[in-house]
Amino acid sequence: MAAPAKTGVVIKLGGSVITEKAKPFTVRKGVLERLSSEIGEIWQAGNWVVIVHGGGSFGHPVASRYSLHVGKSSGSPPMAISMVEDAMRELNREVVSHLIKAGMPAVGLQTLGVAHASGGRLDWLNLPVYESLVSFGVIPVSYGSLVMDSSLGYCILSGDDLAVQIAVGLSAKKLIFATDVEGVYSADPKSESAAVLLPRMSLSRDSIAFGSASNDVTGGMKKKVLSTGPAVQAGVEVRIVNGMREDVLKQAAFGKPLGTEIVL
Ligand code: ATP
Ligand code: IP8
């Protein structure tokens, strides 16, 4: 199937933005409501939009408790698989219903049913489903979660990887990661007060100090930045911005050079 004709924007809503990452199962409803209205403006301007969201304080604590990210060698009971998927479905339901309330035709897609991995890496994605939905003006809403894996049995697929592959597969114009910081800094801004924001970060030239990602089984900001390579290479404009500040996501989608642009 051909890529959709209109300009496409893939948005990864970070778990650090839509949930309180340090408080298990806590959604930031006010933030989600505001972001939904910004997404509405992006969509109403004639762009097709795909949303992917992260695990935040829903998926990460459950995946970490049962070490689901290392696969079946963790010896986790089948109930753990059910629990992580259920936690992510609960968060997905919140995101989808906020988008619907803001007037958008949002449809949640269960990651386990549209994606598959091998050795912890995505090896199959049902792109035609995304293409068909956006061709009808629908906004698919996906999320990082547990997927089946042909060598590990199962693994945790990050929403970052999913967003990158959707952006590449659908030839999106932009891929925007909304996080709880302004962008990529010279070091973790939460622990290094002297850290400076980088307007551009080169994947091949810049070496950045990243903070540890203790409440994140998929590797935090470092993994996010490194995972963007295929999208940057494919010519997608990739940006990491602050989703906690009003209108930043919207303005970035409309072309304002906010946050950090990731380049080769
Ligand atoms: P999720 O994986 O739940 O979707 P997210 O995508 O919102 O989460 P995180 O993985 O939590 O994002 O990454 C954002 C965090 O990365 C920030 O809160 C910040 O403290 C941390 N961080 C570590 N090193 C850096 C750095 N060099 N520059 C910017 N942020 C950094
Ligand atoms: O937060 C991981 O997705 P991410 C989701 O986008 C789970 O890395 C279940 C931990």
Residue 3 has pLDDT above 50, yes or no: no
Averaged over 73-87, what is the pLDDT?
94
Asked if the structure places residue 1 within a domain, the reply is no
Ligand 1 center from residue 42 Cα (angstroms)? 24
Domain at 112, CATH number:
3.40.1160.10
Angle, alpha carbons 43-45-48 (nearest 5°): 40
User: What is residue 21's predicted lDDT score, i.e. its pLDDT?
Assistant: 87
Q: What is the pTM of this model?
A: 0.96
Given a cut of 70, is residue 213 above it in pLDDT?
no
pLDDT at res. 42: 97
Cβ atoms of 21 and 57 closer than 8 Å: yes
- State pLDDT tens for residues 218-228: 888 999 999 99
Per-residue pLDDT band at 6 (split at 50, 70, 90): low
Atom of ligand 1 nearest to the CA of 185: 28
Q: Is 187 in the pocket of ligand 1 (CB under 6 A)?
A: yes
Mind listing the pLDDT tens digit for each residue in 161-194? 999 999 999 999 999 999 999 999 999 999 999 9
Q: 48 lies in a domain?
A: yes
181 lines ligand 1 (CB under 6 A): yes
Mean per-residue pLDDT for 122-145? 97
Average confidence (pLDDT) over 137-164: 97
Nearest Cα to 201, choosing from 215, 187, 189?
A: 187
Domain housing 152: 8-263
Residue 3 lies in a domain: no
Number of domains in the chain: 1
Ligand 1: residue of 157, 192, 216, 221 to mutate (most ligand atoms within 8 A of CB) is 221
Is 64 among the domain residues?
yes
User: Which H/E stretch holds residue 238?
Assistant: strand 237-242
Q: 60, 179, 198: which to mutate for ligand 1, most atoms within 8 A of CB?
A: 179
pLDDT at 37 over 90: yes
Q: State the ligand closest to the CA atom of 222.
A: 1
Closest CA to 53 of 81, 90, 79: 90
Q: Does residue 218 have its Cβ closer than 6 Å to ligand 1?
A: yes
Residue 214 CB partners (closer than 8 Å, separation 6+): none
